[in-house]
Structure 1
Amino acid sequence: MLLGVALTVGIGLIGPAMAMWSDAIFIWEKVTTGNLTGNVLFTKVYAEDNTLPHGEGWGTISTRIDYEDGKKDHKITIDIDREKNKTNWVLNSKIENQGSIPVRFLLPTVMADNVLDVEYDLPNKVIDPGKKGLDPGDAVEGQIRIKLNNDVPGTYQFQIEVKCIQWNAYNDDPWWWKDTLHIYGTVVVEEPPELPEAS
């Protein structure tokens, strides 16, 4: 009888002991990081309607969007050929976030020959720290304003650097995800046409 009780108690203790040794929690989770590199890009560039007056002889504006450093649509090239006394041009560009996390933009950096005043403006909502910036799938328009300050014939150049950074970056440290878009421009001031000689 005593042996039967001991055997019953022993078998009864095996169950909890096995349960104790085989207790485990397994969590299978897939972690996906954000996808941004090469996915914030220019999708459009065009001159404002009133930038070139109607009629002949005001010159031309040509624009194109190209690859840069192997990244699709990361560069805009603007070529302005000025013939008459035009001194101001306004163009718009569109930037789209085709990545998977929001981005914001740092203040654009402009370098230009001394005879040019060049500005590039983006809305504050995509620049200010603490704001969500540009969501995946959304686009924002920036405006390029170019002013020529003299009439000396020649070729003048400018460059705009547009840096974007992941939306939650609180400073410009190197470990945050970043990318850079560029706008390159040339303004050619033509020689004035020769006046016919008086007879």
Structure 2
Amino acid sequence: MKLAIFDFDGTLYEKDVIPFLIKQWNKLGYPRRKTQKIMLKVLPQFIFYKLGKPSLEVKDRLRNLAYVEFCSLFDGMTRDEIMKFFKGASIALKKNLRNSITDEVVRLKARGYYTVLISGAFNDLLLLSLNELPFDKIIGSNLYFKENGLYDIEKRILEIKGSNKIDIIYDLLSNHDVDYNSSIAFCDSVTDIKLLEAVGKPVAVCPDNHLRKICNEKKWEIIEK
């Protein structure tokens, strides 16, 4: 079995999903005071992440911070209420999927690849947003709820990071005969370097500067749009 593995933020989806979701929260009429508190905590770190040269560990830490702080918006909400927000956000999210990569999903599925989307983004949001694409497996971060049905803010964990994506795939498909040397992966960030190095055909999509340098050294394919 050959895999076609796709990252989400910056790869299949053209933008970063947490800033997008914050904007959607405001657009859809949810309380702005909540997002203002988050932005005060996250924005300086996000600017550093984009403009600075953080290490892989720091990049993972910053993404985790953004995820955890965003999840505080769900405090006191039920699963149905959160799903209502995700459904509204998914309509806008679909408009910013990268056409060159959606084409690759369709093309590689038609060629017999087992198509996998793996991301730290919310699994429920991914399922809603990518329901028109032929993915065999979508893997995202889960939300957890207390016995009273409310979101469990103590379990706001970014379960999937660049550093553990390939290990999650290894574990998930351990009972399958996977030909990783014939598999392909699409990513935009150096944080996914372990995933890219695990397949025979790594492809960088609009890569960050660090990943671009590695691509040039290793002669990896780059998709620029």
- Normalised TM-score (structure 2): 0.21
Of Structure 1 and Structure 2, the greater strand share is in 1
Task: Tell which structure's C-alpha radius of gyration is larger.
Answer: 1
- Normalised TM-score (structure 1): 0.23
Q: RCO higher in 1 or 2 (8 Å CA, sep ≥ 6)? A: 2
